[in-house]
Amino acid sequence: MNESNIQQNTGKPNDEIDIFEFCSRMWVAFTKFLIGIKDFFVSIIIFLIRKSLWIGTFVLIGAILGVVLYSISKPYYSSSLEGNTGGIENKVVIDHINKLNQVTNKPELLANYLGISVEEAEAIRSIKAFYGIDINKDWKVDYVDFKETYNPKDTMQLRVPSFIHVKVCVYDESIFPVLRKGLFQYIKSNTYIQDLFKIDIVQKRQLIKELEIEISKIDSLQRAQIRKELMPDNRNTIVLENRQEFRLFHGDILRLYEQKQRLEKELEISNEIILIVHDFTPLQHEERPILKYIAWLGGSMAILGIFCALLWQYRKRIWELVREDSSK
C-alpha cells in the first residue's frame, strides 16, 4: 500500500511537468510561426523595394497606355428613368426590356425593335432595367439593385413589385427623346404585357363597383339602425355597445372609400403601362473617367511587372528546371 501511494504521489509531478513542457513547445512553435510570417512579409517588401524601378517602369507604361486608350475611346453618357408598373408585375416588364441589352451590338435588330434608324441604334451603348429593393418592409424603395446582388433567400430584403428603374448609356445625348419613344413602343408591342394591362384595368373597375355596392350596403345598414334607435320606444335605451357599433361602421366606410379613391386615382393616371416617376434627363454624367483607365491599366501592368521581375530574378533556376525536364 505504501509503495502504490508513493508511485501515485510521484506521478502527479511528472504529469504537471509534461503539461508544462507541452505548453512550452506549443508557444515556441507559435512564435516560430509568427516569425516566419513576419520574415515572409519582410522579404516581399524588400523584393518590391529592390524591384521598384522595374515595377515603376511597368506602371508608367500602363498609365501612358491608359491615357492613350482614353483619348481614342468613344465617350458615352448615362441617364435613367424611374417608373411604376401599377398592377402589372414588374418582372415581366424588366425581363422584356433587358432583352434589348442583348442586341445592342446588333444595330439593325435593335433599330427594328425600337422603331428607330440604324444610325440612332448605333448611338446606344446599353439598356438595362433594375429592381427596387425594400429593406424596411414598408413597400418603399430603399435602393436600386444596380449590382444585381438580390438574394431570394435573404428575408431582410424584398423586391418592390411595381418599381422599375431603366438605365441607358448612349454615345449621343440628343437621342433620348427618340429612345424614350421607341422604348415605350417596344413595351406596348408585347401582346402579353398589353393583355395584362387591360386585365388590370378591368379588374380595378370591377373592384370599384363592388366597393360602391359594399359602401351603399353598410351605409344603408347604419341609417336603418339610427332610425330604429331614434324611435320613441328606443330613444332612451341607447347603450354604449350600440354607439361602438356606429363607430365601427363609420371606420369601415372610410376604409372602403379610401380604397375606392386609391383605385380611381390609379385609373386616372395609369393610362400607360409604366407610370413615369422620373423621366430621362439631359446627360450630365460622362461615363469615361480618365482615372479609371489609368488605374486599370497601371494596376494590370504593375502585376505584370512583378511577375516579370520574379521570372528575371529566378531565370537561372527556371532554365535549369526546363533543361532537366527536357533531358528526361
pLDDT at 6 over 70: no
Q: Give every CB contact of residue 139 below 8 A, 6+ residues apart in sequence.
A: 160
pLDDT at 78 over 50: yes
CA atoms of 270 and 222, how far apart (whole Å): 35
Supply φ then ψ for residue 150, to 5 degrees: -60, 135
pLDDT at 289 over 80: no
Residue 320 lies in a domain: no
- pLDDT tens by residue, 294-318: 777 788 888 888 888 778 877 777 7
What pairing do the DSSP bridges indicate for beta strands 132-134 and 143-144?
antiparallel
Same domain, residue pair 210 and 130: no
Residue 125 lies in a domain: yes
Of 108, 80, 76, the residue nearest 173 (C-alpha): 76
Q: Compute the mean pLDDT over every residue in the chain, rounded to the nearest whole number.
A: 80
Report pTM.
0.64
Confidence band, pLDDT 50/70/90 cuts, at residue 248: low
Same domain, residue pair 112 and 164: yes
Degrees, nearest 5: CA angle 311-317-322 = 90
Q: Which domain holds residue 35?
A: 2-71+291-312
- pLDDT tens by residue, 147-165: 888 888 888 888 988 899 9
Q: Looking at residue 229, what is its pLDDT?
A: 66
Q: Looking at residue 240, what is its pLDDT?
A: 44
Residue 323 lies in a domain: no
Confidence band, pLDDT 50/70/90 cuts, at residue 238: very low
Domain count, the chain: 3
Degrees, nearest 5: CA angle 186-98-93 = 60
- pLDDT tens by residue, 178-207: 998 999 899 988 999 999 998 988 988 999
